Amino acid sequence: MLGRQFHKINRIRRESLIKMFKPNGLSLLCLLSLHQVAYLLKDKLQSTGPLDNKVLSVEEGKMGPQYLYRFTFQPPTYSLRLTGEIDNLIEITPKDGVLIVNEPLDWENKSTYRLQLEGLNQNGNRVQGPYSIIINVIDINDNPPQFNKSSYSGEVRQHSLPGKPFMYVTAFDRDDPSSLNSQLSYSILHQFPSPFTTEMFFQIDNVTGAISTTLSGAENLNPDIQDKFTLEVVAKDKAGQSKDSFATSTDVKITVLENLWKSPPEVILMENSTKPHPMNITHVQWNDPSAKYELQPKEKSSIKLPFTVDQSGTVYVTEPLDREEKDYYSFYILAIDEEGDKLAYPVTVSVHVEDINDNPPVCDHVMTKFEVQENEVAGNLIGTVSASDRDKKGSFNSRLRFRLLEQTPKIPLDNLFRIESGTGSVHLFKMGLNRQVATNYFLKVEVTDPDFSTVCDVQIHVIDINDKIPIFEKSDYGTLTIPEDWGIGTILKKIQATDADEPFTGSSQIIYTITKGDPNNTFIILTDKKTNMGVIKINKALDFETAAMYNLTINATNPEPLVAGVKYNSSSSTFLQIYVTNVDEAPVFRQSVYIVEKYENVTVGTNVATAEAYDPEGYTIRYSLRKNNRNWLEIDPVSGRIYTAAPLDREIQHTYIVEIVATEQSEASKSCAVQLILHVTDVNDNPPYLAKSTVFFCHPLQKGESAEFEVDDPDTHLPVFTYTLSGEHANNWIISKADGKHAYISPTNLNLEEKIYNVSLKINDNGRPPMERVVNLKVNVCRCVDERCFIEIENPNPFPTVGVAVGILVGVLLVIGVILGIVFLNLERKKKKEQSAVAIRPSELRTLT
């Protein structure tokens, strides 16, 4: 608007000035010509040149007249002629060759003008050309997007795949399809209602206009709660990147439908079914009949799942299942479309396999063997028969009962033994065992579950009475010296006791036990079954510093009890002293890692932690730090106190990790290290800065225009920036906030001229403590083409800004003499040289305009 008014004023002023100054016409003409020539000159040779083929560009919609180019020529050419698609819009001044567009062009009407230019001699005959002049019209954004329908409606199923389009909107724009002006970007402006959260349930593809559900929509949409939504969808041109783009909005009505596609309830199947297979167990259903179904295991496994799904969604089990092999199955069923693409998330089918009693009890041993002494007392426990059942633990199906069926031989009595039905433990029931009568008894034990029974065999060996005690070869094995670093399992010593009872029975077998001197079971003694030899091994790590000497008392006993009247005496005991020798070990820290947290503003010397290590051998320890790359910390070598040695800075490093080293003060100098992890906590110690420090406005300035700039702050807290304008330009601008890190600057004075303004701006982050900084925002007020500052190349705009215009009208009047002087002087000097130079001869000047 402003521009247009100005053009009019300019034209009127030009004409009236010409009339007013008629008597003194020459100098005025010179002035105006110079004004234009000054423009032509400003652009140097790019906008002026000899007759030739030319391709020029003109922005559409610009109020004329516009001076596109100035063709220079020499005799024999005296004037120019322009023909072709001039459409009464384009002309050339015949004598001085200025190509002018008189009226605004319209790209949508015509985007290219093809013209021919000829050089004519004094008689009007062509002596040069024709040359081809092509004027390309540059599109400006003068068409808003238009939707192809006035409103849209669509349907979506609950739990649809997020991001899978269920409908499209389409808009078009009449502007140049090769330019940003017709490039559309779709977005959702509002969602009505937003029932639960501020989260959007729908999204739109900014390029294709495809509408789909968001992750939140896929999770939360529920037709029972809300089944109608209206979206206000916007199409913006200029790819939605500019705040000056045109936007058109439309309503999209969406109905949410129930989703039939859901996981069926858990299936309970009896194992080992005798019904015909495959057997129908459950059903799944996609929302329309077109889908295909596919079964998919949850995890990769070589075992093939015994299930299938058919194309109507019925799920089958293909064979009888065995609970004892696998009691639970869970797998996915996919709904896929014709192309094999997933229609939605898969549903889960879970199958629980119920136990039936289909496993008989099983004896744990083919023959269970017990021993009993000849003189065993009635009631004594002889042993326990063990059997198992694979059916479900804790159910009746696996409950076992024991019963004695038969004893062989039945001499001297039957029923010498008794078995407890619940546990299977066998006891001596009657006294009277005699090795002369029978050395072995064989029992048949029946084990039953509710449906099955099994018979287990038991052998009971009658052994000699245990009336001899084990006697050690040596009553003292002396001393043994071993280093503390010998490993667990190392054999230290072999010891031997002998027993005169019947060999290879519980009466003669020997068990070695350490009865004194080893409270922590540091050692263990195993018996060689054949030779009754005892092997002493290290059972737990040795440590000289905790125990340097073990004074062991070792007893030898039999598994079978001794007969009445016989007792173990000191011949069944022996001694062994074990001395552990020291091996120098590294110091040990009391903590495996030190983790501390400090504010970044702590003063130098602040205590951070105190390292504490000890040496097992008791050597003194000295501390040091490693990997202290920034030298932020120091450690007192004696006390281990760690303190800050320099100011910390979270913005440089928020987690500082060093190693604390403890070294023993000995010849070996053994050392060890642990980590110190220092988390540096943020303090507001950085002022804000401009992340984007240059903005531009198109000249002339328009009311209500604003430009966005970006501010940032390295600290972590969420800054709340406030802005204060200062300096000479303060009154020409106002600042308004956009979001967290963005703000807008807008001009208050629309008459600002074309130049770069340094707007001084104080930004405060309102933190604790508040930090502020004065920054310079560079505001470039420039002439634009395509929303960018335009550097003139071949399209000089003859119309200066108001300020410049006044400047030129007043200023040029004053300096005209000087300029003319220089021009004439130059001409004077270069009279015969360079006739076609940049400067223009007075004769030409006169005829311009």
Distance CA 819, CA 261 (A): 86
Is 520 a binder of ligand NAG (CB under 6 A)?
Answer: yes
Nearest to 797 by CA among 143, 64, 303: 64
CB 134 within 8 A of CB 111: no
- Binding segment toward ligand NAG, per CB under 6 A, in 190-198, 563-571, 735-743, 817-825: 563-571
Q: Looking only at residues 230 through 259 of this chain, which bind ligand NAG when binding is defined by CB under 6 A? A: 239-240
Smallest separation, CB 180 to ligand NAG (Å): 9
Smallest separation, CB 566 to ligand NAG (Å): 6
Distance CA 696, CA 711 (A): 16
- In the complex with ligand NAG, which residue's Cβ is closer, 266 or 319? 319
Backbone Cα Rg of the chain:
51
- Binding segment toward ligand NAG, per CB under 6 A, in 217-225, 505-513, 514-522, 651-659: 514-522
- In the complex with ligand NAG, which residue's Cβ is closer, 603 or 836? 603
Site string for ligand NAG, 676-705 (x = CB under 6 A): -------x----------------------
- In the complex with ligand NAG, which residue's Cβ is closer, 226 or 539? 539
Q: Which residues pair with 689 in a beta bridge?
A: 712
- In the complex with ligand NAG, which residue's Cβ is closer, 39 or 477? 477
Question: In this structure, how many other beta carbons lie within 10 angstroms of the beta carbon of residue 780?
Answer: 16
- In the complex with ligand NAG, which residue's Cβ is closer, 353 or 698? 353
- Binding segment toward ligand NAG, per CB under 6 A, in 292-300, 391-399, 453-461, 566-574: 566-574
Among 276, 487, 519, 704, binds ligand NAG (CB under 6 A): 519
Nearest to 130 by CA among 92, 172, 183: 92
Site string for ligand NAG, 599-638 (x = CB under 6 A): x-x-x-----------------------------------
- Binding segment toward ligand NAG, per CB under 6 A, in 126-134, 170-178, 515-523, 739-747: 515-523
- Residues in the interface with ligand NAG (CB under 6 A) total 24
Classify the C-alpha dihedral 64-65-67-68 as positive or negative. positive
Classify the C-alpha dihedral 319-321-326-330 as positive or negative. positive
- Binding segment toward ligand NAG, per CB under 6 A, in 162-170, 214-222, 544-552, 648-656: 544-552
Smallest separation, CB 772 to ligand NAG (Å): 16
CB 34 within 8 A of CB 816: yes
Nearest to 485 by CA among 634, 586, 354: 586
Site string for ligand NAG, 160-199 (x = CB under 6 A): -------------------------x--------------
User: Which residues neighbour 259 within 8 Å (Cβ) at sequence distance 6 or greater?
Assistant: 157, 158, 159, 160, 287, 344
Question: In this structure, how many other beta carbons lie within 10 angstroms of the beta carbon of residue 235?
Answer: 27
Classify the C-alpha dihedral 410-415-418-422 as positive or negative. positive
Q: Looking only at residues 741 through 770 of this chain, which bind ligand NAG when binding is defined by CB under 6 A? A: 768
The phi, psi pair for 702, rounded to 5°, reads -110, 155
Distance CA 174, CA 564 (A): 117
Is 571 a binder of ligand NAG (CB under 6 A)?
Answer: yes
Smallest separation, CB 270 to ligand NAG (Å): 11
Distance CA 114, CA 287 (A): 60
Smallest separation, CB 427 to ligand NAG (Å): 29
What 3-state class would DSSP assign to 845? helix
Is 436 a binder of ligand NAG (CB under 6 A)?
Answer: no
The phi, psi pair for 650, rounded to 5°, reads -60, -30
Q: Looking only at residues 584 through 603 of this chain, which bind ligand NAG when binding is defined by CB under 6 A? A: 599, 601, 603
Smallest separation, CB 514 to ligand NAG (Å): 12
- In the complex with ligand NAG, which residue's Cβ is closer, 452 or 790? 452
Among 106, 142, 322, 545, binds ligand NAG (CB under 6 A): 322
Distance CA 253, CA 230 (A): 5
Among 547, 548, 808, 823, binds ligand NAG (CB under 6 A): 547
Which tokens hold the place of 195? 């029932």
Distance CA 532, CA 505 (A): 12
Site string for ligand NAG, 327-366 (x = CB under 6 A): -------------------------------x--------
Is 570 a binder of ligand NAG (CB under 6 A)?
Answer: yes
319: left (phi over 0), alpha (psi -120 to 50) or beta: beta
- In the complex with ligand NAG, which residue's Cβ is closer, 165 or 796? 165
Smallest separation, CB 469 to ligand NAG (Å): 5
Q: Looking only at residues 260 through 289 of this chain, which bind ligand NAG when binding is defined by CB under 6 A? A: 272
Segment 400-404 long-range contacts (CB within 8 Å, at least 24 positions apart): 400/361, 400/424, 400/447, 400/448, 400/449, 401/447, 401/448, 401/449, 402/445, 402/446, 402/447, 403/445, 403/446, 403/448, 404/443, 404/444, 404/445, 404/446
Q: Looking only at residues 443 through 472 of this chain, which bind ligand NAG when binding is defined by CB under 6 A? A: 469
Smallest separation, CB 323 to ligand NAG (Å): 8
Which tokens hold the place of 106? 């319209």
Q: What is the DSSP letter of 178?
A: T
Among 57, 206, 826, 849, binds ligand NAG (CB under 6 A): 206
Smallest separation, CB 787 to ligand NAG (Å): 15
Is 524 a binder of ligand NAG (CB under 6 A)?
Answer: no
Which residues contact ligand NAG by CB under 6 A? 185, 206, 239-240, 272, 322, 358, 469, 516, 519-520, 522, 546-547, 551, 553, 569-571, 599, 601, 603, 683, 768
